[in-house]
Amino acid sequence: MLIDWGPIRNQLQTTYDTSTRGRPTRDLIQLFKGLLLQAWYNLNDPGFERALNDRLSFQRFLGLSLKESVPDETTFWRFRNRLEETGVLTDIFQAVLDQLAAHDLIVEKGTLIDATIKPAPFRPPRTDRQTGETPPIRDPDATFVTKRGKTTFGYKAHIGVDLESDLIKTVTLTAANVHDSTAFDQVLTGHEQNVFADKAYTKAERRRQLRTDGVYCGILTAS
């Protein structure tokens, strides 16, 4: 086994030491492996649940037997949300990336940066027509955003993809209305030779800093 899950488990356990909501009913490593598959295959929560039910390779990676039930999308969403709340999700992803790099499985030649909108698993409540009141939104961290004429209630996943292997190396989640460019520094590993992104990320200061650091700047400029 290339990845030593012991240190990863220790990091995950610390996020629940002071929790008053209890631990997940599933094994922490099993749930985290699910988040890895979601990131590597760029699957949203419903899509990952379907894939997990359909792919034996996914079930084997999570350590599920053929007799075990498959966790639903809400289980992974709650787990990921907990890691986001405690601010450790990016660090734990990086710990896995570091272990893979130690085995020369990822070559840090460059990073392609992009963002994608992820709908929240719960739809926002509708206003009561008789009272005019709107009940509290069940997912207070999600927000509305309109892109290309389509309004979505949810989150935004900011993703760093390895140019050589197409492997998703880093993922940072924010509310859906956060601008793509805001999470630029968070999805870099700091070892890139090249960085590529669309014009949403272009800033003169950012381009200068990349060149100062000796990193090729492949960020598109506004026409």
pLDDT digits (tens, 9 = 90+) for 53-63: 989 889 999 99
| 36 and 114 both lie in a single domain | no
Q: Is 119 within a domain? A: yes
Q: Is 102 within a domain? A: no
Strand partners of residue 160: 113, 170
Q: Is 135 within a domain? A: no
Please tell me the total count of domains within the chain: 2
Q: Which residues of 27-61 are buried (b: 16+ CB within 10 A; e: fewer)?
A: ebbbbbbbbbbbbeebbbbeebbeebeeeeebbee
pLDDT digits (tens, 9 = 90+) for 41-92: 778 888 899 999 989 889 999 999 888 888 999 999 889 888 888 888 888 9
| 117 and 179 both lie in a single domain | yes
- Residue 21 confidence (pLDDT) above 60: no
Question: Is 161 in contact with 112 (CB distance < 8 Å)?
Answer: yes
| 65 and 116 both lie in a single domain | no
| 218: enclosing H helix or E strand | strand 216-219
Question: Is 206 in contact with 180 (CB distance < 8 Å)?
Answer: no
pTM of the model: 0.57
Please give the residue range of the domain that contains residue 190: 110-123+140-219
| 82 and 114 both lie in a single domain | no
Distance CA 20, CA 127 (A): 32
Q: Is 169 within a domain? A: yes
